[in-house]
Amino acid sequence: MRQIVLDTETTGLSAAGGDRIIEIGCVELLHRKLTGNNKHFYLNPERDSHEDALKVHGISNEFLRDKPKFSAVADELLEYLAGAEIIIHNAQFDVGFLNRELELLGREVLSQHVGSVTDTLAMAKEMFPGKRNSLDALCNRLGVDNSGRTLHGALLDAELLADVYINLTRGQDALLIDSGEPQGTQSAGAAALDLSAYDLPVILANEQESLAHEEVLGQLDKSSKGKTVWRNLASSMA
């Protein structure tokens, strides 16, 4: 599966009000592994950034004067994104700006060029309800080193978000042992491995581990509003 973690920096907060994109950072994941095939653009927005935006990203108007306009990189960007799952933190914001840039060029909206869009902010709110779920907060919570992030930058933020996303979805990894054969090639009638000759030890969780486990289950219960399968099974068996 090809995934692109994407972030933008802009002149302000309102695409509809005329604000434009000044920076795009993209990080490629293939089978959940960083490939190094990244994209990074600084763009001339043809207008100055708002003072508050300058305090966030620190990219001066003078620096952007000789940079290409979005129209000059649009084809390269869309070709790079084509068919991939796009991962964005607060996707509504970035997608809104990208759609506005594409609209100005008479192009189709982003969803027509990519496979899907995943919003990690929405994911985090489900996993950690009631908590701060900014990129910095998630980095701190998940042990992602963001010490180099003194200002927002599209490529740096995309790199941090890639690490955050892997941590958020770590439980989705398939618990499969690589047999060296492609999936589906094993014969349906192949003999199962006989483990009866092995003395397999049973290692019980200690008190601290059990409490940590219950805390995670409690968070899942809360985010699913009491619809977790194991709780329902436990109630029916009681």
User: What is the reported pLDDT for 147?
Assistant: 86
Q: Has 152 been annotated as catalytic?
A: yes
CA distances from 106 to 71, 74, 77, 101, 102 (A): 11, 11, 16, 9, 6
147-173, pLDDT tens digit by residue?
877 668 899 999 999 999 999 998 654
CA distances from 119 to 69, 87, 94, 125 (A): 27, 6, 10, 10
User: What is the reported pLDDT for 178?
Assistant: 41
Mean pLDDT of the chain: 86
CA 162/CA 152 separation, integer angstroms: 15
> Does the structure show a pLDDT above 80 at 201?
no
> Does the structure show a pLDDT above 80 at 219?
no
Which residue from 118, 126, 99 is spatially nearest to 10, judged by alpha carbons? 99
- Catalytic member of 40, 113, 152, 213: 152
**DSSP assignment letter at 24:** E
pTM of the complete model: 0.71
Backbone φ and ψ for 180, nearest 5 degrees, come out as 90, -5
* Domains, the chain: 2-171 (3.30.420.10), 207-237 (no CATH)
More confident residue, 199 or 74: 74
Number of CB atoms found within 10 A of residue 186's CB: 10
Provide DSSP, 39-105: EEEE---SSPPPHHHHHHH---HHHHTTSPPHHHHHHHHHHHHTTPEEEETTHHHHHHHHHHHHHHT
